[in-house]
Structure 1
Amino acid sequence: MKRWLRDNGLTLTLMLVFLLSILGMAIAGFAHESRELALHGEAPPRFLAYLGSGTFVSAVFENWESEFLQMSAYVMLTAFLFQRGSAESLDPDDPHRPGDTLPARLHGRIRRWLYSYGLGLSLAGLFVLSFTIHWLASAAAANEEAARHGGEITSVVSYLFDPLLWFESFQNWQSEFLSTAMLIVLSIFLRFKGSPESKPVSAPHGQTGA
Structure 2
Amino acid sequence: MSGVRRFLSENSLSLGFGLLFVVTLAGQAVAGAAQLSEERQDEGLGPVSLGHYLTSSSFAVDVMENWQSEYLQFSLYVFATVWLVQRGSPASKELEAVGTESDEEQRVGAHARADSPRWAGAGGWRTAVFSRSLGLVFGALFLLTWAATSVAGWAAYNVDQLRSHADPVSWVGYLGRPDFWDRTFQNWQSEMLAVGSMAVFAVYLRQRGSPESKPVGAAHPDTGATG
Q: TM-score range with shorter-chain normalisation?
A: over 0.9
Q: Look up the match of 1:75.
A: 78
Asked if residue 125 in structure 1 is aligned to residue 140 in structure 2, the reply is yes
For 1:93, what is the secondary structure of its paired residue?
helix
CA distance, structure 2, for counterparts of residue 69 and residue 124 of structure 1: 7
CA deviations on 1:165-187 (whole Å, 9 max, x unpaired) are 11111111111110111110011
Q: Runs ≥4 in structure 1, deviation > 4 angstroms? A: none
Query: What is the TM-score when the length of structure 2 is the normalising length?
Result: 0.88
Pick the aligned partner of 2:181 from 158, 166, 169.
Answer: 166
The within-5 A match list for 1:19-38 is 19-38=22-41
Per the TM alignment, residue 99 of structure 1 is displaced from its structure 2 partner at its CA by 3.5
Pick the aligned partner of 1:189 from 179, 201, 204.
Answer: 204
CA distance, structure 2, for counterparts of residue 198 and residue 99 of structure 1: 26
Q: Look up the match of 1:208.
A: 223
CA distance, structure 1, for counterparts of residue 27 and residue 49 of structure 2: 16
Q: Look up the match of 2:55.
A: 52
Supply the RMSD in Å over aligned alpha carbons: 1.6
CA distance, structure 1, for counterparts of residue 124 and residue 59 of structure 2: 42
| Partner AA of 1:55 in structure 2 | S
Q: Look up the match of 1:134.
A: 149
CA distance, structure 2, for counterparts of residue 24 and residue 98 of structure 1: 44
What percentage of residue pairs aligned between the two structures are identical? 40
CA distance, structure 2, for counterparts of residue 44 and residue 75 of structure 1: 44
Per the TM alignment, residue 124 of structure 1 is displaced from its structure 2 partner at its CA by 0.6
Runs of at least 5 residues in structure 2 that lack an aligned partner in the other structure: 113-117
CA distance, structure 2, for counterparts of residue 75 and residue 20 of structure 1: 28
Q: Look up the match of 1:115.
A: 130
Quick check: 107-116 or 16-25, which moved more? 107-116
CA distance, structure 2, for counterparts of residue 3 and residue 15 of structure 1: 18
Pick the aligned partner of 1:102 from 108, 120, 123.
Answer: 108
For 1:18, what is the secondary structure of its paired residue?
helix
| Partner AA of 1:62 in structure 2 | E
| Partner AA of 1:40 in structure 2 | E
CA distance, structure 1, for counterparts of residue 139 and residue 97 of structure 2: 28
Pick the aligned partner of 1:89 from 92, 99, 108.
Answer: 92
